[in-house]
Amino acid sequence: MKFVVKLGGAALEDPKLLHACGRAIADLVKDGNQVAVVHGGGVQLTRTLAAMGKKSEFISGLRVTDAETRDAALMVLAGRVNKSLVAALGKHGQDAVGLAGGDGNVFRARKKKTNPDLGFVGEIAQSNPRYLEAIWAMGAVPVISSIALGFDGEYYNINADEMASACAIATKADTLVFLTDVPGVKGADGQVMRWLTLAQIPALEKQSIVSGGMLPKLNACKAALLGGVKRVRILPAESAAVLPDLISTRVNDGTEVMVA
């Protein structure tokens, strides 16, 4: 089976969590699955920008990205964060190849049209997974940072959840898993919703039950499901060990997002 696993937040910050996620992904591959990892790195980028004297600004969960912020994102996400994930997989004996979205033109971006304008924030306009398939053919894991090259020659910062969704659609993945800082999507009662249908999402947004970074995540879930991905689950990174069990065992952690 094909898995796309999106990593971000604490999973990239906490060495123990990163180690556990690396082990779970390596176990998925050992079980005969093809796995691609897509990662963000917003916390690390915010910290780097602060050290540069730049304040981070977000609108509807998306980072406002001027040219200097974009260049920092390229350095942090495609550099240190990407290579730390490659190393984490290597510790478990799993070969991995780090990529930015522009490498091999695997993903091409266009500027995201928003009001107000977000700067160098893009969305995936085109994908060609041939290099991902070549990496899989060698038994390795492609590790993809959420940066993509535009047709105008500029790099664009891509929301990592959107990138993961685009990757899952392009590779015809069976399962897309978002490893997150939160236990799942919470309902009006504050409890984690074990199952969430696409029809329920607008009401959650309208009532501000979900907001901020969860909004692009749920939009990414919707895009993946409508794009042919069979299963989408939001899973707390602390439960990464259950990843290999998703295929054959009933897993109660996190939120399963479904078409209906």
Least confident of 81-95, 185-199, 200-214, 230-244: 200-214
Angle, alpha carbons 133-29-136 (nearest 5°): 10
Where along the chain do its domains lie? 2-258
Judge whether 61 is annotated as a binding position. Answer: no
Check whether 41 is labelled as a binding-site residue: yes
Q: Is the pLDDT of residue 212 over 80?
A: no
Overall average pLDDT of the 40-48 stretch: 93
Looking at residue 18, its pLDDT comes to: 94
pLDDT interval class at 151 (50, 70, 90): very high
Residue 64: its pLDDT value, please? 94
According to the annotation, is 63 in a ligand binding site? Answer: yes
Of all residues in the chain, what percent carry a pLDDT higher than 70? 100
With a cut of 80, say whether residue 247 has pLDDT above it: no
Architecture of domain 2-258: 3-Layer(aba) Sandwich (3.40)
pLDDT at 103: 95
Its pTM stands at: 0.94
What local confidence, expressed as pLDDT, does residue 61 receive? 78
According to the annotation, is 33 in a ligand binding site?
A: no
Task: Report the b/e string of 144-178 with b at 16+ CB within 10 A.
Answer: bbbbbbbeeeebbbbbbbbbbbbbbbbbebbbbbb
Q: Provide mean pLDDT across the span 91-103.
A: 95
